[in-house]
Structure 1
Amino acid sequence: MTSCSMVSLCSLRVASCGIASPAAQKLNTGISRLSFPKDFIFGTSSAAAQYEGAAAEGGRKPSIWDHWCTLPDKIDDGSNPSITMDQYHRYKEDVRLLSDLGVNAYRFSISWTRLFPDGRVNPEGLAYYNSLINSLLEHGIKPFITIYHWDLPQALQESMGGWTNKEIVDKYVEFADICFAAFGDRVKHWITFNEPCHSLKYCYAEGIWPPGVKSDTEVYIAGHNTLLAHAAAVKRYREKYQAKQGGKIGISLDGFWYEPVYQIPQDVAASYRALDFNLGWFLSPVVYGYYPETMRANVGGRLPHFTEEEARNLMGSIDFLGLNYYTSMYVKDSPSDIWQPAGYNTDMRAKTLFDVDGIPIGPKAYETSWLSIVPWGFYKLLNYIKKEYNNPTIFVTENGFNQVHAPYKDSMDDNERIQYLTGHYTNMAQAIRDGADVQGHFIWSFLDCWEWKSGYTNHFGLFYVDRNTQDRLPKKSAYWVKNFLKPDRGLILPSATPPLVQPLGKNVALAPAQAVQAF
């Protein structure tokens, strides 16, 4: 390891790298660890395909992403997940870093093709996850496990068509059962699926993720089977394991806040349709047992129907909601006409925008990034869920800021990420004070990692990873998080004051119902 390599934030010799420790620059902003309940969960998130590497080691078999990366022009930088962050070999070092960072939870996923390839338990995969879980617990870090984070075995895609075949439900439940039986004595938080809306839209509506299907019907069929698999896995866990193991189970859904461009009935209605087609597509069934009315009306016969038994199994099938929030968008009404082809994006009949008349919804991560810093949208979304979905227990399972790929020296001064986190912590704390049952927050992500179609072109990590040496190098945000998580104070850099009040724009009705102020 180089002189800048890191096993402990405390032991890092920052002077040798020409880096002044950000921990020495202090400014109390009023938001701190003490702004949250004593038992609040603070963690970081990851996913097997993005972190583990060792794609051809330890009995692991190919996933749909391994296959997809062999096809030309599918990944922006031509990379693949064969090595990624090499956590398969470096998990003990990573657990020590997490411990030193001060988090009390770590969210990761189980690779279906590592643990249960070919319908049989792989002893090497089982040993790896047991060792990772035990190492986390030894350091006082709670494991949060995502059972499925987009890496379907390629064999199941080829043999049965993946998520468009209803038989996938039984295959998934068999895999989930193996996870519950093997790890449930120590794992107390289970997540059945990560962001099914996000992945299925790209996989089956736009065709830019594997298996590369572009269909106006298969996206809804795949979503329907995903929901049935979720309900069946939850039923299995509750009937067979939950009483003995004492854990909880939920699902992680991606949520954007959609702000109407104009405060007129058409745009306001469009904002609710956008919420239904994004968040409500999966949240309404697992809370109420049925799809949102807007989806049933707009999609019509292309949207599958739940039987009475399926609806009963779905209704109330979460002990908690995992919410992934990154940013917000403007939305305006976009009526369909006979010339528009049917499909997910047109069914919504709403146009989403990141700016209106040149006025952005928030400061952008970088010029071409989809991510703007919109902490007030986070506040609004939490309150919307509280009101519309019976105030479920929420763990914010992903929330983070991206940078364009650059050398470490250009990446470590990530004041914008600190600004982003401060704004979102502040708005989350206010939402909790207003009654939202938020019990935890996970930063995406612990390390700069492989980001699916984007490859290594943008980075979300608190730690930069040198891909030549696999050294984990702390960014300024890592120091900030470490200081924030100290029980007696919260620290921030002077240059990272967060925008907590929604900006006003020309001809755009943006004033929030309840502007969030710093405490």
Structure 2
Amino acid sequence: MTFDVPNDSRLRSPDFLFGVATAAYQVEGAAREGGRTPSIWDTFCRQPGRVLNGDTGDVACEHYHRWPEDLDLVQDLGFDAYRLSISWPRVMPRRGEVNPEGLRFYEQIIDGLVERDVKPIVTLYHWDLPQYLDNRGGWVNRETAYAFAEFADVVTAALGNRVEAYATLNEPWCSAFLGYELGVHAPGLKEPRLAYQAAHHLLLAHGLALPAMRHNAPQSRHGLVLNFTPSFPATERYDDQAMALLQDAINGHWFLEPVLEGRYPSLVTRFRPESTPVVYPGDMDIISRPIDFLGVNYYTRSLVTHDQDGEAREVRVENAQRTSMDWEVYPHGLYRLLTDLDRQYHLPPLMVTENGAAVTETVEDDGIHDDLRCDYYNRHLQAVDQAIRDGVNITGYFAWSLLDNFEWAEGYSQRFGLVYVDYDSQERIRKRSATLFREFMAERQSAGAGAAS
């Protein structure tokens, strides 16, 4: 058995980038080693009731010590690329201070990937803001955007062109809205106005960082990763359709339109005027600097209706297949997202930088048969294939995640990995989904070798 992708699919072409991803705080552990100082997630995890079971990322998957074994896994599974993130407080434990040991850790990973013929894809910020910056207001403080530009300069100067592609930010919607409005992610605030201001400063940080990144790594590609949960109207009524459009504007276009077109969506500023952030002259020119690629993260959709208070209410789809995160499995949502974005914007090349499913599973004598995850990947790869056939320029796909890991507010209760991690022994056990990817990668390689001969 392998993935049901047609033989003439671009996904089978050697120039299509297949990868697997992780993030620093979720896998590294070694929270107090190597000169690292606390991040907002170290602080958040220690606040009672914030994270399920009081879990923390202190140990995680011990990737800090086991990285050679994990890179061997990436290589053996046949992936073209590995997407990782850089721990800001490991590299810059205090404002203006560079930690050579922290930089060396990432340099050896990049060198290890190159030696294994795996392309490094580096995300500079995946939510682990240094606590010393949060003490001064975090992303609500405009100065944090300039601090990020300094961090990006340090990292890209050290890693340079060895990295295939750099993403400035991962899912700034989560950093801003989950962290500052809904309070379910660090730093855990519940102030909607602050969320929109944090979002603006995150985008400003992205734009401020790009010139130094391009100078330090002129042969690398430079872009941004956004998450999308496309909203579908629960009925054909005009108010449900309008609410779905507004939710998409807030959740996705609020971040994409400034980057590609230099303005915030008028749909949001008109109907949520109280949330409009403070924007300085010239900010939008900085934010809209050209990018080489856009990373698209997709897991599920949202089905929404319009309630009596003029707010969106999510509608649960009965009898739908769902992951252990209770997210609906809806591959058509990925197809619709990719094709809708392509119709609405003049896009750079796209990469699906995260896609995957959390599954409740147990280790059996004959392995781990994560059938729902296997089916999830199979159907979503078909959706990507169809989007490409319909004209969308998609150049890569990354499975989330290589390893089971610390899943933020859900702690260790949710497993997204292709590889099972026994958190007591740190043993890595490949699941059926890992085997499927390995078989598919081998097929691609074999077909490519045959075509070359």
Q: Which bin holds the TM-score, normalised by the shorter protein?
A: over 0.9
2:178 paired with 1:202: yes
Query: Aligned partners of 2:272 and 2:303: how far apart in 1?
Result: 23
2:226 paired with 1:264: no
More displaced 10-residue stretch of structure 1: 206-215 or 451-460? 206-215
Q: Identify the match of residue 476 of structure 1 among 412, 432, 440.
A: 432
Q: Which residue of 2 aligns with 1:127?
A: 104
Does the 8 A contact of 2:27 with 2:405 survive in 1?
yes
Task: Name the SS of the counterpart of 1:458 in structure 2.
Answer: coil
Q: TM-score, normalised by structure 1?
A: 0.82
2:35 paired with 1:59: yes
Does the 8 A contact of 1:62 with 1:113 survive in 2?
yes
Q: Which residue of 1 aligns with 2:451?
A: none
Structure 2 vs 1, CA of residues 201 and 96 (structure 1 numbering), >3 Å: closer, same or farther? same
2:313 paired with 1:351: yes
Residues 443-454 of structure 1: pairs in structure 2 closer than 5 A: 443-454=399-410
2:296 paired with 1:320: no
1:405 Cα deviation from its structure 2 partner: 6.3
Q: Which residue of 2 aligns with 1:386?
A: 342
Structure 2 vs 1, CA of residues 177 and 40 (structure 1 numbering), >3 Å: closer, same or farther? same
Query: Aligned partners of 1:105 and 1:27: how far apart in 2?
Result: 20
Query: Aligned partners of 1:309 and 1:100: how far apart in 2?
Result: 48
1:467 Cα deviation from its structure 2 partner: 1.3
Residue-pair matches, total: 444
Structure 2 vs 1, CA of residues 55 and 28 (structure 1 numbering), >3 Å: closer, same or farther? closer
Structure 2 vs 1, CA of residues 299 and 311 (structure 1 numbering), >3 Å: closer, same or farther? same
Task: Name the SS of the counterpart of 1:460 in structure 2.
Answer: coil
The Cα offsets for residues 249-294 of structure 1, whole Å up to 9 and x where unpaired, read as: 1111111122211123222222211111111110010001111111
Task: Name the SS of the counterpart of 1:80 in structure 2.
Answer: coil
Q: TM-score, normalised by structure 2?
A: 0.93
- Give the structure with higher Rg (CA): 1
Q: Identify the match of residue 429 of structure 1 among 385, 388, 392.
A: 385
- Return the letter of the residue paired with 1:241: N
1:316 Cα deviation from its structure 2 partner: 4.4
Structure 2 vs 1, CA of residues 206 and 65 (structure 1 numbering), >3 Å: closer, same or farther? same
- Return the letter of the residue paired with 1:400: G
Query: Aligned partners of 1:83 and 1:35: how far apart in 2?
Result: 39
- Return the letter of the residue paired with 2:255: F
Does the 8 A contact of 2:149 with 2:209 survive in 1?
yes
Query: Aligned partners of 2:366 and 2:374: how far apart in 1?
Result: 16
Task: Name the SS of the counterpart of 1:324 in structure 2.
Answer: strand
Does the 8 A contact of 1:205 with 1:215 survive in 2?
yes
1:308 Cα deviation from its structure 2 partner: 4.5
- Return the letter of the residue paired with 1:295: V
Q: Which residue of 1 aligns with 2:359?
A: 403
Q: Which residue of 2 aligns with 1:69?
A: 45
- Return the letter of the residue paired with 1:350: A
Query: Aligned partners of 1:55 and 1:256: how far apart in 2?
Result: 31
1:32 Cα deviation from its structure 2 partner: 5.7
2:118 paired with 1:141: yes
Query: Aligned partners of 2:367 and 2:233: how far apart in 1?
Result: 35
Q: Identify the match of residue 266 of structure 2 among 273, 293, 313.
A: 293
Q: Which residue of 1 aligns with 2:449?
A: none
Q: Which residue of 1 aligns with 2:216?
A: 241
Structure 2 vs 1, CA of residues 405 and 60 (structure 1 numbering), >3 Å: closer, same or farther? farther
The percentage of counterpart residues that share the same residue type is 38
Does the 8 A contact of 2:359 with 2:372 survive in 1?
no
1:202 Cα deviation from its structure 2 partner: 1.6
Query: Aligned partners of 1:488 and 1:319: how far apart in 2?
Result: 26
Does the 8 A contact of 1:413 with 1:476 survive in 2?
yes
2:323 paired with 1:365: yes
Query: Aligned partners of 1:216 and 1:299: how far apart in 2?
Result: 11
Q: Identify the match of residue 330 of structure 1 among 289, 294, 303.
A: 303
2:91 paired with 1:115: yes
- Return the letter of the residue paired with 1:195: E
Does the 8 A contact of 2:123 with 2:169 survive in 1?
yes
- Return the letter of the residue paired with 1:46: T
Task: Name the SS of the counterpart of 1:446 in structure 2.
Answer: coil
The Cα offsets for residues 19-65 of structure 1, whole Å up to 9 and x where unpaired, read as: xxxxxxx3674546954233111001110000111111111111111
Structure 2 vs 1, CA of residues 32 and 60 (structure 1 numbering), >3 Å: closer, same or farther? farther
Query: Aligned partners of 2:230 and 2:186: how far apart in 1?
Result: 27
The Cα offsets for residues 74-107 of structure 1, whole Å up to 9 and x where unpaired, read as: 1112111011011111111111111010001001
The Cα offsets for residues 176-206 of structure 1, whole Å up to 9 and x where unpaired, read as: 1001100013113111111111232121111
Q: Which residue of 2 aligns with 1:174?
A: 150
Query: Aligned partners of 2:20 and 2:8: how far apart in 1?
Result: 16
Query: Aligned partners of 2:367 and 2:204: how far apart in 1?
Result: 42
Does the 8 A contact of 1:33 with 1:484 survive in 2?
no
1:489 Cα deviation from its structure 2 partner: 8.7
Residues 250-261 of structure 1: pairs in structure 2 closer than 5 A: 250-261=223-234
The answer to which structure has the higher helix fraction is: 2
1:317 Cα deviation from its structure 2 partner: 3.5
Does the 8 A contact of 2:361 with 2:370 survive in 1?
no
2:208 paired with 1:229: no
Query: Aligned partners of 1:214 and 1:405: how far apart in 2?
Result: 34
| Structure 2 gap segments, 5+ residues each | 447-453
Q: Which residue of 2 aligns with 1:13?
A: none
